[in-house]
Structure 1
Amino acid sequence: MKTIKKNKKANRRKTILQLHKILGLITGVVLFIVSITGCLWVFKDEIESFYDDYKYVTPRHEDFITASNIKKIAEEIIPNKTIHGVIYGQSNEAIEVVFYEAEPEIFYHSVFLDPYSGDFIKRVNNNSGFFGFILKGHLRLWLPDAIGSRVVSYSVLMFLIIMISGLFLWWPRNKKNWRQRLKFDWNSKTRWKRKNFDLHTVTGFYVSSLGLLLAFTGCVMAFNWFYFIAYKVSGGDKAPQFIIPNSTQSYVIESEDEPAYNKLVPLLQQKYTNAVSYELHYPENDTTSILVEVSNSKGLYYNMDYLFFDQNTLQELETTSIYGKYKDAKFADKVIRMNYDIHIGAIGGIIGKIIAFLVSLLCASLPVSGVLLWYGRTYKKPKKTSQQGVLV
């Protein structure tokens, strides 16, 4: 009986090892690129802060220009493109008008204006530059989106399986091997194959929990079905998608020259005095409401307040979605809303970002050491055999 059980365990371990090896070889290059670009993306805001002087202005004791004037000015600078939103910062910050279109290809530009005079400051192509390059690599390997995004998404999903199978394979068979699996026990006689094995197994163990977290949050963003399951498993009972309610009033109480949303941001600035910024989204048509995203913490997204207003009366409207006021969010709502901040480590401040950077960097090392481990075992050098001289 004991022999049968040992054989079953050995066969199960062999099967899991094969699965771990095959998935690792298939996804190795992809996971290396995604991990390296991910650790570089973590400090995007901090790095860009060294050369973003155009985002700041001299504060004045004046009102900001109206939202309708901002729209007019921005559309003259970038005509025939869709304005996604207008971001109002503090009194010393420029207004950012974000243009975004997903089809036929992603168009993502920003126009920065003086908040008092409306003077043009700078136009920025968010798809270009170093971090634009990094993001394209992280999301789609610099391939066409239809191909690259799918390759990345399913590779990250397989990474979850790789990490779980790796933990099973790491688990020592007896107590004697625990120390060896938890630390680098090297000396001058340790061969490079042993060192590489330890780099793969010991490093893999220590980054496994946070590596799983990065992969899990990545899958939440990559797959709608994964996102929905994660929300429902957390106990969510609201609509997990973004829902913009329609305006309730069919009549217009403002003239076409002075739309109601001109009054909205000044009112919110008086009400949400501690807010970091406000992002106004113009109504898409005559029936949709006005969306304003109130950012309550710099560099964080999960605790934003999503507010909706009738475009004619400015009456505040409720939404059935998880994206409403943060104070009304339940546990499951908060978990999903925190997903991106967890993914880049921002949820833990600068310490969290450093941890995310290191974990992502170490995750990038695992495919490298794994391939070397596979190569060393697959293409072993034949052992040298001693040859005896032949007597003549």
Structure 2
Amino acid sequence: MVALDQNAGQSGAGSSQDDTASFAKFYRAAWRWHFYAGFYVIPFFIMLATTGMMMMWIAFIDGRDGERTAVVPQDAPIALSLQAKTALAQYPQGTLEAYTAPRAPDLAALFRVDTTDGAMMVVLDPYTGEVIESFARRSGLYDLMDNTHGTILLGVTGDRMIEIAASLGLILIATGVFMWWPRNTSTGSVLKPNLAARGRSLWKNLHSVVGFWSAAMLLVFLISGLSWAGVWGEKIVQAWSSFPAEKWGAPLSDVTHGSMNNGPKEVPWILEQTPMPASGSLAGREGLKDGVPVTLDSIDALARVIGFDARYQLNFPKGDTGVWTMSRDSMNTDSANPMSDRTVHVDRYSGKILADVKYEDYSLMGKAMAVGIAFHMGTVGLPIVLLNTVFCLSILFLCISGVVMWLKRRPAGQKGLVPPPAPRDMPVWKGAVVLALLLCLAFPMAGVAVIFALAVDLLFVLRRPRTRA
């Protein structure tokens, strides 16, 4: 998103010549940083906007992992234990890990079976027990887009590269708004496109208008995305915002809720780093009635009694201290309402409820992330899918228009970046310096990128006579 090189010398009526000169220097400094941030960010934002749109529409139209497979409803489904036995028969050497209840009576049930070849999905008719299909979990187009969106298929390295891009996106917003902000004209004149302009002026005008109207949503998307990232999210914000498991009063295991993830993020953000409760104690409140054996069928019946109707996830116990985990959240498309998020853990031996976490139990940050992630992923209904689509198209336009403006500004026959000229005798803008330091401290990967850009600027760009001129 290359910056607009509007007339940097303009200022409000009555401003002194010194003020005008100082503003011009500040403007050029902001423009230069906008340029460098945009140069790195553009390919990542194009990828994120494209894969994000595809994921939203695939999930909305077709769902994931066979969840929209149709069946013919009958009087009642067969026992869940029989369904599970049939599913496991597809992979006899595997281990049943999870069950996803149908969203509606005319949809199939889903079972996840872990094998030596990875996690497999079995799609089954809950009325007849017939296996409709089976396949490797997270192996469809949605999942390819999801993995590309999160790591560009490069694992941790890709995650860090995208985190840098998202962090620099905050700098793009700050510098873009500073350059756009009207100083010698009415605000209304820069809130709508000037279609009478031509050439590069038209591109600049469209870039600034679209950028302004997209800025608030971009900020929401960047913060919600960064909260999942490996450094700012996992090491800083998420670690300090995790749900306090001690309040359950049950013994804690040595594994976290993140152990239930299988590839992509599937556990609510606030719980991912929270330890799981452990089975095998006297802790917990009444779940199953005394004398009722703890089986898959009785656990499913308990889930229905305590409010898990329609689609919900049931993770099976792992190990001697493992627990049954019932959950519903909008991130997994179980519900279109993020405020209905709920996770319940049940002791595998006694059938007692060890923990029951609802949306209202989340901290303020946890609530913000539950809603923010649902909004980010477009899992809360068609209106948000459409809104997010318009937003993604706006980001693509900003990237393309930024490149066009750069090409139109670059002198004919000159190669290389050709960044905006650095201001001479730059005065110290204390507020901007403090803001930049706080931004780099709060978002470490942005700090790394800024230091790298400064080094390149000083060592390679500004030392070249032609570039300096």
- Report the TM-score when normalising by structure 2: 0.68
Pick closer, same or farther for the CA change 1:339–1:25 going to 2, 3 Å.
same
Q: CA deviation at 1:316?
A: 0.4
Residue aligned with 1:309, SS: strand
Matches within 5 A, 1:278-317: 278-294=312-328, 298-317=335-354
Residue aligned with 1:341, SS: helix
Pick closer, same or farther for the CA change 1:236–1:66 going to 2, 3 Å.
closer
What is the aligned length?
Answer: 362
Query: Given the alignment, which residue of 331, 335, 338 partners 2:368?
Result: 335
What residue number does 2:159 align with? Answer: 149
Matches within 5 A, 1:20-39: 20-39=34-53
1:159 pairs with 2:169: yes
In the alignment, residue 217 of structure 1 is paired with which amino acid?
S
What residue number does 2:24 align with? Answer: 10
Pick closer, same or farther for the CA change 1:86–1:49 going to 2, 3 Å.
closer
State, as a whole percentage, how many aligned pairs show the same letter: 20
What residue number does 1:269 align with? Answer: 304
Residue aligned with 1:122, SS: strand
What residue number does 2:438 align with? Answer: none
Pick closer, same or farther for the CA change 1:119–1:54 going to 2, 3 Å.
farther
Residue aligned with 1:61, SS: coil
Query: Given the alignment, which residue of 188, 192, 215 partners 1:183?
Result: 192
Pick closer, same or farther for the CA change 1:237–1:120 going to 2, 3 Å.
closer
Q: Which deviates the most, 218-227 or 114-123? A: 218-227
Measured against aligned partners, the alpha-carbon deviations of 1:124-176 in whole angstroms (never above 9, x if no partner) come to: 445444323322332233x3323333222321221122122211111123125
Query: Given the alignment, which residue of 359, 375, 383 partners 2:407?
Result: 375
Q: CA deviation at 1:361?
A: 1.3
Matches within 5 A, 1:76-225: 76-78=89-91, 83-89=96-102, 90-99=104-113, 107=118, 109-141=120-152, 143-175=153-185, 178-187=187-196, 190-223=197-230, 225=232
CA RMSD of aligned residues (A): 3.5
CA distance in 2, matches of 1:211, 1:133: 23
Q: CA deviation at 1:228?
A: 7.1
CA distance in 1, matches of 2:321, 2:242: 29
Residue aligned with 1:175, SS: coil
Q: Which deviates the most, 118-127 or 358-367? A: 118-127
CA distance in 1, matches of 2:97, 2:19: 62
1:66 pairs with 2:99: no
Q: Is the 8 A contact 2:327 2:344 kept in 1?
A: yes
CA distance in 2, matches of 1:301, 1:228: 24
CA distance in 2, matches of 1:345, 1:93: 22
CA distance in 1, matches of 2:143, 2:238: 30
CA distance in 2, matches of 1:333, 1:35: 25
CA distance in 2, matches of 1:2, 1:284: 72
Q: Is the 8 A contact 2:317 2:348 kept in 1?
A: yes
What residue number does 1:389 align with? Answer: none
In the alignment, residue 225 of structure 1 is paired with which amino acid?
W
Pick closer, same or farther for the CA change 1:215–1:303 going to 2, 3 Å.
same
Q: Which deviates the most, 198-207 or 158-167? A: 158-167
In the alignment, residue 290 of structure 1 is paired with which amino acid?
W
Q: Is the 8 A contact 1:96 1:110 kept in 2?
A: yes
- Report the TM-score when normalising by structure 1: 0.80
1:344 pairs with 2:377: yes
Pick closer, same or farther for the CA change 1:333–1:50 going to 2, 3 Å.
closer
In the alignment, residue 149 of structure 2 is paired with which amino acid?
H
